[in-house]
Structure 1
Amino acid sequence: MSFRIRALPAAPFAGLSGLDEAALSARLIKRLMVDTYPGYPCRVSLEDARPGETVHLLHYTHQEAETPFRASHAIYVRDGVASADLPPGEVPDMIRRRIISLRAFDADGMMVNAEVTDGIDVAACIGTLFRHPSTDYIHLHFAKQGCFAARVDRA
């Protein structure tokens, strides 16, 4: 099964670097200096930020469906990066190096299946989940923290 892992678009986060601490605080956003690698996975670039880079930690609604599975969580976004555009079938290192929870949803936003796997096995697991006839899209989550990593669509 061919799939594509999708990054978040950069545009909604582009103005964060120009905001002062008070403005960020009012939006419940934290500006952080990266001090370890890996450890700050950016949902726009689909890469871990490097030490010395700036990231923003913010609340993000990743599952907007009007169902009991509507969901949001904290995510990291790097300053000034373009949105990753991965080719079909590619799994970025940011995903491959972590334990991943995969949540399969139907077209109405209802969860139809789920798995947990090592990141190196994500591609095979995605293929298995897309074989389910009701699966429309998949969300990847970092299993330890539970936060959204990326969306997966059929390619």
Structure 2
Amino acid sequence: MSFTVSSLPLEPFAPLFALDDAALAERGMLRVVADAPFAFPCRVTLDDAAPGESLILLNHEHQAADTPFRSHYAIYVREAAQAPASTTDVLPPALRRRLLSLRGFDASGMLRDADVVEGSAAEPVIERMLADPGVAYLHAHYAKPGCYAARIDRAA
């Protein structure tokens, strides 16, 4: 089964980079500078920031369904992000190199399936989960910190 991985859109986050650190702090956000490779995965580019790159660390509601599975957590967004990322039938770099928790939700936002898999071996698990007609979409999370990574849908 063909699938598409989609990042968060850039538009809601772009204005944040014009704010100073005090204004970010008032919103519960923090400007950070990547200090190690492969440690700061951006939710817009779906790749890691390089050391020295500026990012905003913020809390984001990624599962807005009015169910017990409603969820929000910390995410990074790179200042250098230019456009949202999307891939078909392959995981983007930041997901491919990490242990993932995949969560399958039905159309009303209730959890129907979940699994943990290395990103480099995730495609068959994604295909299996999306083969269930009761699963409307998947969320990929970085399994170790537990934070949201990207949405996965059946490809059109």
TM-score by length of 1: 0.97
User: What letter corresponds to residue 112 of structure 1 in structure 2?
Assistant: R
TM-aligned CA deviation for residue 137 of structure 1: 0.1
Other-structure match for 2:146: 146
Instruction: Determine whether 1:86 maps to 2:86.
Output: yes
TM-aligned CA deviation for residue 80 of structure 1: 3.5
- Post-superposition Cα deviations, 1:73-99, rounded to whole Å, max 9, x if no partner, equal 000000041233333212111001110
Aligned equivalents of 2:85 and 2:39: distance in 1? Answer: 22
Aligned equivalents of 1:35 and 1:80: distance in 2? Answer: 16
Please give the secondary structure, in 2, of the residue aligned with 1:87: strand
Structure 1 segments of 4+ aligned residues over 6 angstroms from their partners: none
The answer to whether the Cα contact below 8 Å between 2:69 and 2:109 also exists between their aligned partners in 1 is yes
Aligned equivalents of 1:84 and 1:16: distance in 2? Answer: 16
Other-structure match for 1:30: 30
Please give the secondary structure, in 2, of the residue aligned with 1:12: coil
Aligned equivalents of 1:81 and 1:88: distance in 2? Answer: 20
The answer to whether the Cα contact below 8 Å between 2:43 and 2:150 also exists between their aligned partners in 1 is yes
Aligned equivalents of 1:133 and 1:42: distance in 2? Answer: 30
TM-score by length of 2: 0.97
Aligned equivalents of 1:86 and 1:73: distance in 2? Answer: 21
Give RMSD over aligned pairs.
Answer: 0.9
Q: Gaps (5+ residues) in structure 2?
A: none
Aligned equivalents of 1:82 and 1:68: distance in 2? Answer: 34
User: What letter corresponds to residue 91 of structure 2 in structure 1?
Assistant: V
Please give the secondary structure, in 2, of the residue aligned with 1:11: coil
After TM superposition, the structure 1 = structure 2 runs for residues 19-98 of structure 1, keeping only pairs within 5 Å, are 19-98=19-98
The answer to whether the Cα contact below 8 Å between 1:14 and 1:80 also exists between their aligned partners in 2 is no
The answer to whether the Cα contact below 8 Å between 1:7 and 1:83 also exists between their aligned partners in 2 is no
Aligned equivalents of 1:5 and 1:87: distance in 2? Answer: 5
The answer to whether the Cα contact below 8 Å between 1:42 and 1:78 also exists between their aligned partners in 2 is yes
Other-structure match for 1:134: 134
The answer to whether the Cα contact below 8 Å between 2:46 and 2:85 also exists between their aligned partners in 1 is no
Aligned residues: 155
Q: Gaps (5+ residues) in structure 1?
A: none
